[in-house]
Amino acid sequence: MVWDVAPEIFSIGIFSSRWYGTLFTIAFVVGYFILRKIFRQEAVPLRKLNRLTCYVAMGTIVGARLGHCLFYETEYFLQNPLEMFFPIVRDVNGAWQFVGYQGLASHGAAIGILAALYVYARVERLPFLWTVDRIVIVVALSGFFIRMGNLMNSEIYGQPTNLPWGFDFVRSPEWYRPPINAQSCHPTQIYEALAYLAVFVLLAKKYFRNKEKLKTGLLTAIFLVSVFTMRFLIEFLKIEQVPFEKDMTLNMGQLLSIPFIIAGVVGLCRRFID
């Protein structure tokens, strides 16, 4: 299948609307309404939700950006620290230039969200794991929207395949393309998106059907094990994201997934032992 979708929805002058940003925004909006329903059912003031949204948004963006810079392009960004967060920097001649944001990492986002939730829980005097249990429901759904955004960008796809559902990503960057004689690749963005959607359905059903009986931390543990195990396995099908991954047995995404999986397994064991 030839995948020739433009990453931009429309463009007017210097302003453009891109699918990735739109789907990222939809993830936050849909997540907000789901959490609003949860907070109302549990009689938690909505002002706490509004603050929670700000904390999660900041943790997601800062964590995802720092994660990419420090995990995948450490040397470059240590030499060019301004480019981590400022898309306009001075070049070697002293002139200002737009460099844009190049890369976000989901593992960094996960760390950023957890750090933001820890601070939020302390400020709002809410149990940390109680808060995380509810957030992971919408984070799983957000993963679906973000991976669909990667699909629209023709990025983060897999290795060449002869399977009938392989995609030919004709708009992907030259450096990212597979050998010329192997046009179709695994649409790993879709694999991950569907996996995260399935995790969302599982967590949502478990919460709404059994919220009075749920042990604190159970949803978080299920999320960590399921999401990062899926990520670990699907990474075997992907093209390496950065050059240094080429000779690695496990790539950076897999190595970063292992601590989350272990934490999830420990959490599940503790929930069942208690």
- Reduced to 3 states (helix: H, G, I; strand: E, B; else coil), residue 250 is coil
pLDDT at 188: 96
Residues whose CB is less than 8 angstroms from the CB of residue 10 and which lie 6 or more positions away in sequence, other chains included:
16, 17
Band (1; pLDDT cuts 50, 70, 90): confident
Mean pLDDT of the chain: 85
Q: What is the arithmetic mean of pLDDT over 133-157? A: 93
Least confident of 93-102, 104-113, 204-213: 93-102
Contact 169, 154 (CB under 8 A): yes
CB atoms within 10 A of CB 208: 12
Report the range out of 67-81, 86-100, 223-237 with the highest average pLDDT.
Answer: 223-237
User: pLDDT-derived band of residue 175, with 50, 70 and 90 as boundaries?
Assistant: low
For range 105-133, the mean pLDDT: 91
C-alpha count within 13 angstroms, C-beta hemisphere, residue 39: 19
Q: pLDDT tens for residues 189-198? A: 999 999 999 9
Instruction: Of 88, 92, 114, 115, give the one whose Cα is nearest residue 101.
Output: 88
